Amino acid sequence: MKFTVPEKLNVFRKLLARLGKFYYWRKPKKINLWLLSSMAYGVTKKYEEIFKGATGKAVDTFTQHFVNGAKAIMFQMQDRIKILYSQSLEDLEFVASIALYVILGPNWKKFFSQPVFIPADRTDNGIAQFRIKFPICALCAGIKPGIDLDPQKMEEYSYGELLAAALAHLLQMVQDYVGNDYNIEIKETKCKLRGDSHGEAVMFFHPKKN
């Protein structure tokens, strides 16, 4: 039976998502976030060694490989999660909160603030935005700025680009699937490694040009 993408999520689908998040949180094996941070740091340092201390190139190369892996996983999962797909960008707040619960459990708000969608008619540049803040960065937890990683050596790159780029590509896959004509751009606007009090990423939904 062909799946039809709704314009907006209805009450029934939202109820299924609210109930299903408890099951999917308990079902999979968990990964320690400190371990995740340590793995990312270890791989980054190995690339840095390969590229003779070029931290920016190391982060960029690792990001490209990480994104390819994330896209492959998303492709395999799409049939199970497409019940949460809709064409409405306003549903992203709800879907993101469900996804964060499934990944991090009931304490997900320790790591992320409630995601916020800003319609195009409420932004200065007329581009719809999706903004998410994270008081605790799962990627850089335990890393000492300037000692373990030097932000200055990353040049125009960002350590948080690893997760940000993966998220942008996954969201692009969803938007393409539901038939929305957007190009997704993501910017890490705040970074704890660079001295900010919290991390922040903003996704921009640029209308595709015909």
* pLDDT, tens digit (0-9, with 9 covering 90-100), for 156-184: 666 667 777 888 888 898 999 999 999 99
**What is the average pLDDT across 72-82?**
80
**What single DSSP character describes residue 182?**
E
6 lies in some domain: no
Domains: count for the chain: 1
Sheet holding 116-118, edge to edge: 116-118, 128-134, 199-207, 182-190
Number of separate helices (H) and strands (E) present in the chain: 5, 4
**What is the average pLDDT across 68-80?**
80
Helix axes 55-81, 33-50, angle to 10 degrees: 140
155 lies in some domain: yes
4 lies in some domain: no
pLDDT greater at residue 107 or residue 145:
107
110 lies in some domain: yes
3 lies in some domain: no
Q: Which domain holds residue 127?
A: 11-207
2 lies in some domain: no
Both tokens of 87, joined, read 């064409």
The CATH number that applies at residue 131 is 3.30.1380.20
Instruction: Determine the Cα–Cα distance for residues 187 and 179; give it in Å rounded to an integer.
Output: 23
pTM: 0.82
